[in-house]
């Protein structure tokens, strides 16, 4: 057993698929209904804001009707139990990791439930529609857009992600096709840094060849099994959160 203290977990659309949220590239996925260049680029937003805002309003409404599945719940369990460093880097813009109870979550592609004011640069929690051009709660300008990262834009908090990768012992990728960079490159970044790499996916992905190990199956089964394995088999004393002893106890 390797010395396992610091874990970086990358999640993609596959982790939310069994909650009923469409993936992007599977048959029947989001990109089959909408050409990516029509909805997920800054140029598309300039060209046809109504189409883009309608697409995101529909998805923002839909995610609020969904609930976390056993994969999100298992990762939240690990987050609570694990005393080493742990970072869940999600490409997903839904909030199912948080609703399952995970706290150490980084949304590198933004969040559906945020609106970003391009006039004053303030982000506000947003659960309703944007197509009706509501004013920004901070400055009043009608310049809100979905707070998501489109193609050609810089994903969020890359410095934090690379810092976490540098100190990681294990990189685990769950439910992502490995089609979109820079996330698709994390496995190679991790390998170059000497980090062990594990992939959990329904089927082999574009990145599978780069992983030390790939396990195939639905996230709702693979992730709870892997989390149990990590929590049960790691012999090191810091693997589990221990409640602070009451005053007076050694």
Enzyme catalytic residues: 109
Q: Three-state SS across the chain?
A: CCCCCCEEEEECCHHHHCCCCCCCCCCCCHHHHCCHHHHCCHHHHHHCHHHHHHHHHHHHHHHCCCCCCHHHHHHHHHHHHCCCCEEEEECCCCCHHHHHCCCCEEECCEEEEEEEECCCCCEEECCCCCCCCCCCCCCCCCCEEEEECCCCCCCCCHHHHHHHHHCCCEEEEECCCCCCCCHHHHHHHHHHCCCEEEEEECCCCCCHHHCCEEEECCHHHHHHHHHHHHHHHCCCHHHCCCCCCCCCCC
The CB-of-25 to ligand BJW minimum distance in angstroms stands at 4
Q: Which residue has the tokens 């969040």?
A: 111
Residue nearer to ligand BJW on the CB measure, 6 or 92: 92
Q: Which of 51, 106, 202, 231 binds ligand BJW (CB under 6 A)?
A: 202
The order of strands in the sheet holding 110-117 is: 123-125, 110-117, 144-148
Asked if 155 is part of the footprint of ligand BJW (rule: CB under 6 A), the reply reads yes
The CB-of-219 to ligand BJW minimum distance in angstroms stands at 4
Q: Which of 6, 19, 23, 197 binds ligand BJW (CB under 6 A)?
A: 23
Q: Name the one range near ligand BJW by CB under 6 A: 75-83, 131-139, 170-178, 234-242.
A: 170-178
Residue nearer to ligand BJW on the CB measure, 152 or 248: 152
Q: Which of 181, 243, 249, 250 binds ligand BJW (CB under 6 A)?
A: 181
The CB-of-221 to ligand BJW minimum distance in angstroms stands at 8
The CB-of-136 to ligand BJW minimum distance in angstroms stands at 20
Q: Which residues in the 33-92 window bind ligand BJW by CB under 6 A?
A: 40, 91
With CB under 6 A, what is the number of residues at the site for ligand BJW? 36
Rounded CA-CA distance 127/135 in Å is: 14
Q: Which of 10, 24, 111, 168 binds ligand BJW (CB under 6 A)?
A: 24
The CB-of-249 to ligand BJW minimum distance in angstroms stands at 44
The CB-of-140 to ligand BJW minimum distance in angstroms stands at 26
Within 13 Å of residue 19, how many CA atoms lie on the same side as its CB?
27
Asked if 224 is part of the footprint of ligand BJW (rule: CB under 6 A), the reply reads no
Distance between first and last Cα of the chain:
30
Window 96-125: contact mask with ligand BJW (x via CB under 6 A) = -------------x----------------
Give the interface with ligand BJW as residue ranges (CB under 6 A).
12-14, 17-18, 23-26, 29, 40, 91, 93, 109, 148-155, 158, 175-177, 179-182, 201-203, 205, 218-219
């Amino acid at each position: 057993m390797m010395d396992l203290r610091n874990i970086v977990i990358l999640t993609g659309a596959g982790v939310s698929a069994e909650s009923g949220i469409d993936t992007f590239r599977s048959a029947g996925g989001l990109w089959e209904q909408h050409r990516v260049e029509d909805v997920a680029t800054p140029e598309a937003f300039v060209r046809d804001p109504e189409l883009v805002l309608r697409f995101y309003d529909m998805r923002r409404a839909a995610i609020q009707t969904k609930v976390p599945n056993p994969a999100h719940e298992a990762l939240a369990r690990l987050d609570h139990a694990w005393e080493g460093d742990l970072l869940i880097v999600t490409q997903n813009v839904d909030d199912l990791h948080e609703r399952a109870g995970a706290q150490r979550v980084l949304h590198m592609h933004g969040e559906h439930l945020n609106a970003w004011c391009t006039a004053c640069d303030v982000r506000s929690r947003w659960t309703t529609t944007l197509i009706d051009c509501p004013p920004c709660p901070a400055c009043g300008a009608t310049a809100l857009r979905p707070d998501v990262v489109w193609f050609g834009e810089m994903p969020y908090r890359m410095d934090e992600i690379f810092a976490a990768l540098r100190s990681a012992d294990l990189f685990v990728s769950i439910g992502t096709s490995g089609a979109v960079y820079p996330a698709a490159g994390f496995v190679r970044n991790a390998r170059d840094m000497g980090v062990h790499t594990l992939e959990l996916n329904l089927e082999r992905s574009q990145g599978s060849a780069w992983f030390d190990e790939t396990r195939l199956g639905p996230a709702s089964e693979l992730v709870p099994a892997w989390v149990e394995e990590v929590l049960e088999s790691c012999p090191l004393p810091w693997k589990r959160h221990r409640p602070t002893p009451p005053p007076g106890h050694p």
